[in-house]
Chains A and B, each alone.
Chain A
């Protein structure tokens, strides 16, 4: 329990960890999936797996938006940036995502007009400041960020800003969970439900996980204590042969979600018939496109994009890691060709990606320990 002492309440953490050990049936093997990149980050940062008994395995699900975005989508966004009139505006994580011919940041270095923004509203403001150019906002994220893009588009339409459009790569979490549950060889026992996505969608949409698939799901906060408490709640459900949706993060997540955010999304977006996810393949009705009423602000309607499916670099095994078939260090490129400084695969880009989280904490820790051992 090396990292416990730096927690706010080491005593509570030890208690919760002991409770997990007491409640885990030694005869069973548990596989719990977290479907939120923030949880993945937290789990590695706090070395939570070291606090768990060996028969509880945490499987890192598709909760990191840039990780699940197939390379062809990045290429399409970059093709837009190649147009002379276009300024491509993107979040920091997107700036570093590898496309076939480099990341947006590398395209920028070669002369493309790519700007980093922290909010879609800044992309809209950029368009208003540069009326002779056309600003495309590279929108990405689950339901945590989709309402923000929706409200930005509502503003753009209300103000009649014509030189602004959105290249939507927004995805929705529910169809991804369903696809995982439907995948052959699925061996998960339960889910740790996402924290911030649930502030928008609430807890009700997860009901099918319990009702149709008989799996428990607990919406969880991000602190180590939250995650341990959520694991205890899952163990209790499994021991009592219950399958329910429970909310451990009630101090932030209302059961009903945020109705205003859901209304804004419903006004602007509709479901795409299907969308490709790295590792999971094509999932029907799993992503958002702009409604016909917003076609004038839809970058994919205004401009032609290549729309080509692009496979990941051959040696990179991002898809296998995303599916949980491989652990990050089992990929041939991990820590050698592919590092957070020079990511080959998308999972190395974001702090929420399983590979970057593993590299930044587990890999660096063991390297530091090896160096210390060599000095001793």
Chain B
């Protein structure tokens, strides 16, 4: 095990060499290439994508299908190459969540999914080819409407 510094939990222990390498940066954050994926302690299916280089940089990521049942991941041949995907490799994909002051207004960025090649620990932030996808998909729309009615 090794000790790392995190934004959410301070110092935590993770298995050695468990970081993920981003082959293509998270847009806007070119100086962070290595991240740890940490399960949130008390919120199932929510994860912290914690930068290795910058302690204060961390994103909340979730499986978009939790909030959008018909979500479709789309990525292309060049993404596949960056991820060095081969037969037998497993991928897992997330979207970055924006959790504002009032978490009922939480949105997820389904236009720029994070895709991880689990076997090789490589990741990218892709651009979805689904033109109708947005960077601010509201997850509690139903919830808010119920309140209004």
Q: Do A and B come from one complex?
A: no
Q: Which residues of B contact A (CB under 8 A)?
A: none
